[in-house]
Amino acid sequence: MKRILICMLLIGYAGVASATENDELTVQQDSTSKNYRKVLMLKMNKGKGYGKQAFELENTYALLEKGVSYISFNVGFQSNDIDDYWLEPLAVVDDIYRRNASGSLAVGYFTKNNMSVGVKGSYAFSDTRVKVTADLFDLLFNAQTYETNNVSSTYSVAGALKNYVPLNWSHRLFIVNETNLSFSHSHSLAKNIYDNGVKINKIEKDKFSVGLGISPGFMYFMTKGLAFDFSLNPVLIYFEKTDIINNQTDSGKVNNYGLSFKFMPLNVQFGFSYYFGLDYFKNKEHIDTEGRRR
C-alpha cells in the first residue's frame, strides 16, 4: 500500500513539474515573440516580418502628428573664375566667368500623422562667360578668338506629398519620401562672338516643362523644431517644350519627354526646415516610457 501511495505522489509531482516547465516555456516563447532586433536601423518582429510603420497606425505616437505645419528652404551659390589658362598645345583660355545661384521655399501641413501636403517654389540663375584664343578656330569658322556669354533663369512651382518614417524611438531621425508634381519655365540667352565682334550669333530659348518626381531622403532634428534635410531626385517623368529663336529671325521648336533615373551630384539637395506645433511634452512622456521599457 505504501508503495502504491509513493508511486502516486511521484506521478503527481512529475505532472506538476511538467506543467510548470510547459508554462515557463510558453511565457518564454511569448516574451521572445515580443523581442525586437534591429535590421539597418529598422525594427523587425522576429519571424513576423517588418512591423507596420507609424503612418499606418493611427493610434500610435507621432511627433509629426496631424495639425503640425512646416516651412523649409535651401540656397546655393557657386562661382568660378579663370584667367590666361593654357590648354597646350591647342588654345589659351583668356577668361572664364561663372556664377550660379539657386533657392527654394516650401510650406506644408500634416493632414495625418507623418504625412503632409505642401507647395514649393524655386528660382535658379546662371551666368557663364568664356573667351578662348586658338589658331585651330581659323580652320573651323574663320576666326582667331571665340567668346560665348550664356545667361539663364528658371522659375518652378510644385505640389508635394511627403511621408515620414521615424528611424528611432525618440523621433529625431526620419526617412522622408516626397512625391511632387512640378511646372517650370526657363529663359536663356546665348551670345557667341567671333574675332572680338566681327561676327555675332545670338540664340534665345524658352523652355516649359512638366514633371512627376520622387525624392527620397533623410531628415534630422538638430534642436526643437529645426531640422536638417537631405534628399535625392533620381526619378522623374517629364515633358519639355522648347522654343528657339536664332538671331531674331529663324525659329524652331523641340519637344522632349521621357523617364529619368539617375544619381548625380546636381540632383542632391540640402536644406533646413522648421516645424510648428510640435508637442514636446508628449514627446518627453513617450521617450521616458520607451526608456523604461528598454
Q: Which among 80, 76, 79 is positioned nearest to 123, based on CA atoms?
A: 76
pLDDT per residue as tens digits for the range 41-98: 444 444 444 455 555 555 678 899 999 999 999 888 777 777 766 665 666 777 788 8
Q: What is the per-residue pLDDT for 52?
A: 56
Mean pLDDT of the chain: 78
Q: What is the per-residue pLDDT for 50?
A: 46
Mean pLDDT value of segment 139-159: 85
- Inter-residue contact 100 to 75 (CB < 8 Å): no
pLDDT per residue as tens digits for the range 209-249: 999 988 899 999 999 999 999 888 777 888 999 999 888 77
CA distance 217 to 212: 17
In DSSP terms, 284 is beta-bridged to: none
pLDDT per residue as tens digits for the range 161-220: 999 999 888 899 999 999 999 999 999 999 888 877 778 889 999 999 999 988 899 999
